[in-house]
Structure 1
Amino acid sequence: MRLSHLLLASPLVLLAVPATAAPGDEAKLKAIEVAWGKALVKADTNAIKTFTAPEWTFQGSGPKPQTRAEALADLASGKEKLTSYTVRDLRVKVIGDVAYVAGYDDEKSSYDGKDTSGTYGFLDVFQRRNGKWVALVTQGGKVGS
């Protein structure tokens, strides 16, 4: 490669480097996880909509991902019910306007009348949109199952 090509490409390389995490991003993302748990226990679908993107999906052990609309309908109808939900061991990584939060939750829950209580591991992927973090996708599963 000629030096002139390298010099012309250098500014483009700088543009490809993601922005650094803003102060407080880690704390904001952890707070969202705590608020999400509280909203699940209260079956507060409006709160959940504030920190999940319309295209959010949940990938669990089922045969297909669950859409946000499906998850909120299950919660609102009482098909999915949580009486306690506590997150712990949260690990956050921010890469520009994308972040992930991995951790565990201990919950007392039921789905379609069947007890689903236990400890679950999860991974949430977030994107910063207009200065606000929203979840794009969640993958989770029961620990030890």
Structure 2
Amino acid sequence: MKLFTPLLAITLLAFAVAPCAHAQEKSADSSAIKAKLKEMEDAWEKALVNKDHAAVANMVADDFAGFDTKGKHRTKSRIIDQIKNETDTLSSSVNDNMDVHVYAPNLATVSGTSTEKGKDKDGKEFTRSYAWVDTWMERNGKWECIAEGVMQFPEKK
């Protein structure tokens, strides 16, 4: 019995500490996921400025589904075509207020706002602001955007 009591205490202590260690591990994983997805969102904006459709294609899932600012359904091929055929020239596009929610080790949403500045095809300067939410999933070790919704704020006059 003398040997049993310390073993029982150690076993109970291990069971009590295990969830805490698991929570810390999940928190660390969650922090890494949040940082990675924010980095990817910023890379997406940079790719838009550079009209780098290949970079965007690498981040968007083949089965992507989303809606643009006019409520039209978007697919991966439509996004790539829009970038290829864009007549506006962006001088900058910056994300702000990004908020990442990790729902599982391979599933998260990122919401935020972005502001792009540039010139239209006639040389007229513009500033456009958007609110958006992207859904990301890690598949085969690679994070991909699987869904998106975007809303454009009215332009300030």
> What TM-score, normalized to structure 2?
0.70
Query: Between Structure 1 and Structure 2, whose CA radius of gyration is higher?
Result: 2
Report % sequence identity.
Answer: 26
Structure 1 residue 112: Cα displacement: 7.6
Aligned counterpart, 1:6:
none
The 10-residue stretch of structure 1 (104-113 or 28-37) with the greater mean CA deviation from structure 2: 104-113
Counterparts of 1:75 and 1:51 in 2: how far apart (Å)? Answer: 14
Counterparts of 1:29 and 1:112 in 2: how far apart (Å)? Answer: 32
Structure 1 residue 80: Cα displacement: 5.5
Counterpart selection for 1:37 from 45, 67, 83: 45
Evaluate the alpha carbon distance shift between residue 64 and residue 72 of structure 1 in structure 2; reply closer, same or farther with a 3 A threshold.
Answer: same
Structure 1 residue 124: Cα displacement: 0.3
Counterpart selection for 2:150 from 134, 140, 144: 140
Aligned counterpart, 2:68:
60
Over aligned residues, Cα RMSD in angstroms?
2.4
Structure 1 residue 35: Cα displacement: 0.3
Aligned counterpart, 1:89:
97
Counterparts of 1:58 and 1:109 in 2: how far apart (Å)? Answer: 24
Structure 1 residue 81: Cα displacement: 4.4
Read off the aligned partner of 1:141 and give its amino acid letter: M
Structure 1 residue 61: Cα displacement: 3.4
Aligned counterpart, 1:104:
113
- Report runs of 4+ in structure 1 exceeding 4 Å deviation: 109-116
CA deviations over 1:52-105 (Å, ceiling 9, x no partner): 101223312324212111121121123464331000111001111210000000
Aligned counterpart, 2:78:
70
Please tell me whether the aligned partners of residues 125 and 136 of structure 1 are also in contact (alpha carbons under 8 angstroms).
yes
Q: Judging by fraction of residues, say which structure has more helix.
A: 2
Read off the aligned partner of 1:124 and give its amino acid letter: D
Any unmatched runs of 5+ in structure 2? 1-25
Tell me the number of residue pairs that the alignment of Structure 1 and Structure 2 aligns.
126
Aligned counterpart, 2:59:
51
Counterparts of 2:78 and 2:138 in 1: how far apart (Å)? Answer: 24
Of structures 1 and 2, the one with the larger relative CO (CA 8 A, separation 6+) is 1
Question: Would you say 1:125 and 2:135 are equivalent positions?
Answer: yes
SS at match of 1:24: helix
